[in-house]
Chain A
Amino acid sequence: MKRTLLAACAATLLLATSACGLGSESTGSEGPVSRVPELKPDQKVSIVFESYNFGQAGAWTDTFNELIAAFEKQHPNISVTAQKPQGNSANPATDTISSLQSQLTAGSPPDVVQLGFSDLDFTVNQLKALPLDDLVGKDAVQANFDGEQYPYAESARTLGDWNGKTYGVPFVFSTPMLYYNKQLFTQAGLDPENPPATWAEVRDAAKTIQQRTGKGGAYVDCLTKAAKDWCFQALVRSNGGRVLSEDRSTLTFAEEPSVEVVRVMQDMVKAGAMPNRTQMQAVESFARGDLGMILESSAIQGTFLKGAGDRWELGAAAMPSFDGKQAVPTNSGAALFVFSKDAAKQRAAWELIRFLTSERAYTTIATKIGYLPLRTGLVDDPDGLKQWAGENPYLEPNLKQLEHLEPWVSMPGANYLQIRDGMMQAVENAVYQGADPAESLRSVQEEATGLMQGGGK
Chain B
Amino acid sequence: MVSGTFVEVAAPARNREAGTAGTAPASRESGWSRIRRLAPPYLYLVPAVVLLVVWTYQPLAQTFVLSTYSWNLVPSTPMVDVGLGNYERLLGTPELGRAVWRTVVVILGMLPFTVVIPVAVALLTRRVRGRAQGVYRALVFAPMLVAPVAGAAVWQWLLDPSAGAVNRVLGTDVNWLNTASTAQWSIIVITGWHVVGFAVLVVTAGLAGINPDYAAAAQVDGASRSQVTRWVTLPLLSPTLAFLALMTVLLSAQWTFPLIDTLTQGGPVSSTTNLYYLLWEYGFRSHDAGLAAAAGVLFFLGFIVVAALLTRLAARLSHHDD
Contacts from A to B (Cβ < 8 Å): 11, 14-15, 18-19, 21-30, 88-90, 97-98, 101-102, 104-105, 107, 122, 126-128, 216, 224-226, 275-278, 280-281, 284-285, 290, 414-415, 417-418, 421, 425, 428-429, 432-433, 457
Contacts and interface: CB of A to CB of B under 8 A. Distances in A.
B149 A90 contact: yes
A18 B265 contact: no
B286 A418 contact: yes
A11 B76 CA distance: 30
A278 B179 CA distance: 10
Contacts, number: 127
Contacts of B72: 101, 126-127, 414
A417 B286 contact: yes
Given A97-B287, A421-B285, A280 B79 contact: no
A369 to B, nearest CB: 24
Contacts of B284: 98
A22 B66 contact: yes
A290 B162 CA distance: 8
Between B77, B79, B175, B289, the greatest number of chain A beta carbons within 10 A of the residue's beta carbon is seen for B77
B74 A101 contact: yes
Report whether over half of chain A's contact residues are helix, strand or loop; otherwise say mixed: loop
Contacts of B289: 22, 101, 105
A24 B78 contact: yes
Interface string B263-307: 011011110000000000000111111000000000000000000
A128 B76 CA distance: 9
23 contacts: A14-B57, A14-B61, A15-B64, A18-B61, A18-B65, A21-B59, A24-B78, A30-B76, A98-B284, A101-B287, A102-B73, A122-B287, A226-B267, A275-B161, A276-B161, A278-B267, A281-B160, A281-B177, A281-B178, A290-B163, A414-B286, A414-B287, A457-B80
B121 to A, nearest CB: 32
Contact of A276 (B65, B71, B178): B178
Given A15-B61, A126-B74, A281-B177, 5 more contacts: A22-B66, A101-B74, A428-B269, A432-B268, A457-B288
A18 B70 CA distance: 17
B180 interface: yes
A290 B161 CA distance: 11
Given A14-B57, A22-B66, A101-B289, A27 B78 contact: yes
Contacts of A19: 62, 65
A425 B75 contact: no
Nearest to B73: A101
Contacts of B160: 281, 284
Contacts of B75: 24-26, 104-105, 107
A105 B73 contact: yes
B224 interface: no
B70 A457 contact: yes
Interface in B5-62: 53, 57-59, 61-62
Q: Lowest 7 A-B CB distances belong to which pairs?
A: A18-B61, A101-B73, A21-B62, A18-B62, A105-B73, A457-B70, A15-B61
